[in-house]
């Protein structure tokens, strides 16, 4: 395994981005629960530790705390925001509530570059998000940087290689923030840049073979990027030991089933089983409008369908593989004892019923979407598959707001097909992260010819992102938007109006449900 940089997760919304920035420097990062023991970190061969930010205050009654013995491991430690406040308090300094909370952009002034700010400007625009601050340094530390309201915005103990920064270098808003992290990795930790797509595939194939042995693996193949890359990776590792099951749940996009059968069954020669369970899913969803309830119904039904598929496949299947990614995990369920809040559940996250007696295999669980795409390309998947826009596990079930019916699904499919056709024709499909339509359960008055038309409303959602943790709405040309709207209202009989979603994430999520 490559050298490991441990990121202890104290619940910051940016923790996953820290791990991602480290990997951009071609160093391997792994997230750990904040309370992970020093013994475990030593056993894992950790060469550096980063304490993430978090929503808590060090003064809170149940403030999350690390194992204090991590400071005795003899490896470099970098505290970020809440992390530097923890270091200050645990190592003998003082922390106090700030009279003026710093949130948003600030100016960082560097008095002494040290190792963290080597070859960087003396003044930088940085992103702050804190209400507490250091008021006295721990023994052995010196202050080398300040912001408007923080005299100890950057601190260092060069003898022990302990560093603390009050701002968030991992976010895009912090000028040269990635260079600060790179300096910590290379100049302080001495990390070797041995984490590349090729390295990941090599280690993943080895791990899969060692884990699976001679057992068979069942994978739910949706045809999306995540499950496709998982299938290709597993197929490279274990070949005929892999069986893929494609479930037609009635919530697919137009032509989805046929495309999956052609690519994986006939082209890649993967053992592919297609199950038509559309009637079952739609029957279960009848009368259900609440988003979380819909997701849970879809998830439970998937499991049931897999159970039946498992019985038909026969003996020897010990693992169920899923294309779970990091953003799926962080938005669904907190890492053990993580104070971060749940946002929404994903059908493919959270374990399996005991009755299935299958072990869970998630070869992509620690990757972000852009990393997954790179792996897919390296494995030889077609570009149109690798660069396909993300599609939610529950499918169109969470893009039809309210109750899901066959008629509403058909309206949405037609509108969505038009949107994607025009995005591809215009060249915009490859420029954005995601483009899709949402069926709104409201009717609006329109006019077709000389007749009154009282029909449904379709929302168009197009966003730009890197890893789905944050996103901004895309400023498409007005002429393109007009053409898309005209086509949808003219060609989809039951749509009278098209609206554009101009919400960013946060505060909104990318999907509506």
- List, as residue ranges, the binding site for ATP: 222-228
Report how far residue 334's alpha carbon sits from residue 351's, in angstroms, rounded to the nearest whole number: 13
Backbone CA torsion sign across 21, 338, 433, 325:
positive
Report how far residue 44's alpha carbon sits from residue 283's, in angstroms, rounded to the nearest whole number: 48
168 flagged as catalytic: yes
Dihedral angle, C-alpha 173, 512, 223, 409, nearest 10 °: -160
Residue 176's CB is within 10 A of a number of other CB atoms, namely: 18
Catalytic choice (25, 81, 189, 244): 81
For 152, the 3-state DSSP assignment is strand
Q: Per-residue b/e over 475-497, b at no fewer than 16 CB within 10 Å?
A: ebeeebbeebbebbbeebebbbb
State phi, psi for 370 to the nearest 5 degrees.
Answer: -65, -30
Candidates 112, 311, 322; CA nearest to 226 is: 322
170 flagged as catalytic: yes
What are the Cα distances from residue 202, in Å, to 131, 206, 319, 367?
44, 6, 21, 15
State phi, psi for 331 to the nearest 5 degrees.
Answer: -90, -5
State phi, psi for 484 to the nearest 5 degrees.
Answer: -60, -45
Report how far residue 216's alpha carbon sits from residue 243's, in angstroms, rounded to the nearest whole number: 8
Q: Which two tokens stand for residue 359?
A: 């072990």
Candidates 510, 508, 404, 401; CA nearest to 457 is: 401
Backbone CA torsion sign across 343, 344, 350, 355:
positive
290 flagged as catalytic: no
Give binding residues as ranges.
222-228
Catalytic choice (102, 170, 256, 511): 170
Q: Which residues are catalytic?
A: 81, 168, 170
């Amino acid at each position: 395994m490559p050298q490991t940089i441990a990121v202890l997760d104290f619940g910051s919304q940016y923790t996953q981005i820290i791990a991602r920035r480290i990997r951009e420097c071609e160093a391997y990062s792994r997230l750990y629960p904040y309370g992970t023991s020093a013994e475990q970190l030593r056993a894992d061969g950790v060469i550096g530790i980063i304490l993430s930010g978090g929503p808590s205050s060090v003064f809170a009654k149940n403030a999350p705390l690390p194992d204090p013995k991590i400071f005795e491991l003899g490896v470099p430690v970098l505290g970020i925001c809440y992390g530097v406040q923890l270091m200050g308090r645990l190592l003998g300094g003082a922390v106090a509530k700030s009279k003026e909370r710093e949130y948003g952009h600030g100016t960082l002034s560097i008095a002494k570059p040290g190792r963290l700010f080597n070859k960087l400007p003396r003044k930088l625009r940085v992103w702050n998000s804190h209400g507490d601050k250091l008021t006295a340094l721990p023994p052995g530390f010196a202050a080398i940087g300040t912001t408007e309201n923080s005299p100890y915005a950057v601190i260092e103990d060069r003898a022990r290689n302990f560093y603390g920064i009050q701002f968030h270098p991992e976010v895009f808003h912090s000028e040269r923030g990635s260079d600060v992290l790179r300096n910590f990795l290379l100049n302080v930790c001495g990390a070797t840049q041995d984490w590349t797509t090729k390295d990941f595939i090599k280690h993943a194939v080895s791990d899969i073979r060692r884990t699976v042995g001679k057992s068979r693996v069942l994978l739910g193949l949706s045809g999306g990027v995540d499950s496709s890359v998982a299938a290709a990776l597993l197929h490279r590792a274990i070949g005929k030991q892999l069986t893929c099951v494609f479930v037609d749940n009635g919530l697919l996009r137009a032509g989805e089933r046929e495309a999956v059968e052609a690519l994986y069954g006939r082209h890649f020669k993967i053992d592919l089983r297609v199950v038509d369970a559309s009637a079952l899913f739609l029957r279960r969803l009848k009368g259900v409008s609440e988003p979380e309830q819909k997701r849970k119904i879809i998830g439970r039904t998937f499991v049931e369908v897999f159970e039946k598929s498992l019985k038909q496949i026969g003996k020897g299947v010990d693992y169920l593989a899923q294309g779970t990614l990091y953003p799926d995990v962080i938005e669904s369920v907190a890492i053990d004892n993580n104070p971060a809040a749940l946002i929404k559940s994903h059908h493919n996250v959270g374990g399996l019923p005991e009755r299935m007696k299958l072990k869970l295999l998630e070869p992509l669980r620690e990757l972000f979407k852009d990393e997954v795409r790179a792996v897919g390309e390296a494995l030889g998947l077609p570009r149109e598959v690798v660069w396909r826009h993300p599609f939610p596990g529950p499918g169109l079930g969470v893009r039809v707001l309210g109750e899901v019916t066959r008629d509403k699904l058909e309206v949405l499919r037609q509108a969505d097909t038009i949107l994607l056709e025009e995005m591809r024709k215009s060249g915009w499909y490859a420029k954005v992260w995601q483009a899709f339509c949402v069926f709104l359960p409201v009717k609006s008055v329109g006019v077709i010819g000389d007749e009154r038309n009282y029909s449904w409303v379709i929302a168009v959602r197009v966003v730009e992102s890197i890893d789905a943790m944050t996103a901004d709405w895309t400023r498409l040309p007005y002429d393109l938007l007009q053409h898309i709207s005209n086509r949808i209202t003219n060609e989809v009989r039951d749509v009278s109006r098209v609206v554009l979603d101009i919400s960013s994430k946060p505060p909104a999520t990318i999907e509506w449900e």
